[in-house]
Amino acid sequence: MTDGEHIHIISAGESIHKTYPISINQLENITRTFVIVEDDIFIDSDSDSERLKATKPRIREAISTVQQISEVMKIPCMVQKIDSVTFDAIRDVVLDIYAQYPGAKFSFNISGGTKPLSIGLFVMSVWLEGEAYHTPGEKIAIQKLSIPKMHVKDVSTNPNYVQILKLLSPYGEAGLLRKLLQVEFSKKYVPIREKDEKKTKRVFHSAILSKYLSSLVEWNLVKERYKSGSKKEKIYSITSDGILALRFIEIRGKKTE
């Protein structure tokens, strides 16, 4: 059983020992860490360029320090070597990890390593529905790379999704109470026949809003939380992904006018 596990995957680089503590502090409950690195990093060759001769030892030292940090934090840390920096090799090593922990949450820090390695891990984060991060420096907060959980067309073709995003947009992170959102949305609601319905719903009711909000929350376009001090009243706010989706929709709308 791997539910509850949080697998953190790092692309190896010479500064990962500086950014790894930031990941531990800012990401939730990392339970296992994997460092992906090419075999060649552990082989010193006379044919290496001067840059590689200087860089390889620093990367090895950085990996060792990450392992030491993990030991102190009681987070198992494994080094996974790949024989070449190709997408097939990156895919296979990540799928091997996934096969061991199929129910886990996955996060990827792609700041270190070569561009092909970082790009490969980013692509795998999409396949695993994981979260990809970039850490610009040891004193800068980790930055999440937004990965859409839906196609913009899924939102734009249904005016009700768009209306909810538009209604929430002016309130930013503060959000809007559900009961107030429901009042405003009821004025904007457009009856639409769903694929599994025989006839179009003509009368608005709260279950319709719940259905749309559920999808928007799942797509990370809207955030749901309880009002402070209440276990019943909910507040909904638009996320940065929601703002991005809304802007795309508005731009596309202008192009078709």
Non-local (6+) Cβ contacts of 223 within 8 A are 175, 217, 236, 237, 238, 239
Has residue 222 got a pLDDT over 90? yes
What is the bridge-based pairing of β-strands 234-238 and 222-226?
antiparallel
CA distances from 233 to 69, 137, 154, 195, 211 (A): 42, 40, 28, 31, 17
Query: Cβ of 122: how many Cβ atoms within 10 Å?
Result: 18
Has residue 120 got a pLDDT over 50? yes
Percent of the chain with pLDDT over 70: 92
Counting Cα atoms < 13 Å in the Cβ hemisphere of 7 gives 24
Separation of alpha carbons 96 and 54, rounded Å: 31
For residue 140, the model assigns a pLDDT of 64
Cα–Cα–Cα angle for 183, 187, 193, rounded to 5 degrees:
110
Q: Which residue has the tokens 């949080």?
A: 6
Has residue 192 got a pLDDT over 90? no
Counting Cα atoms < 13 Å in the Cβ hemisphere of 208 gives 21
Has residue 3 got a pLDDT over 80? no
User: Is 6-145 assigned to CATH 1.20.1110.10?
Assistant: no
| Per-domain residue ranges of the chain | 6-145, 152-255
Confidence band, pLDDT 50/70/90 cuts, at residue 197: low
**Across all residues in the chain, what is the average pLDDT?**
88
What's the whole-model pTM score? 0.71
For residue 157, the model assigns a pLDDT of 86
For residue 113, the model assigns a pLDDT of 81
Separation of alpha carbons 76 and 56, rounded Å: 24
Has residue 1 got a pLDDT over 50? no
Query: What average pLDDT does this structure show over 199-208?
Result: 74
Of residues 95 and 146, more confidence is placed in 95
Q: Which of 120-124, 217-221, 250-254 has the lowest mean pLDDT?
A: 250-254
Class of domain 152-255: mainly alpha
Each residue of 26-62: pLDDT tens digit? 887 999 999 999 999 999 888 889 988 999 999 999 9
SS3 42: helix
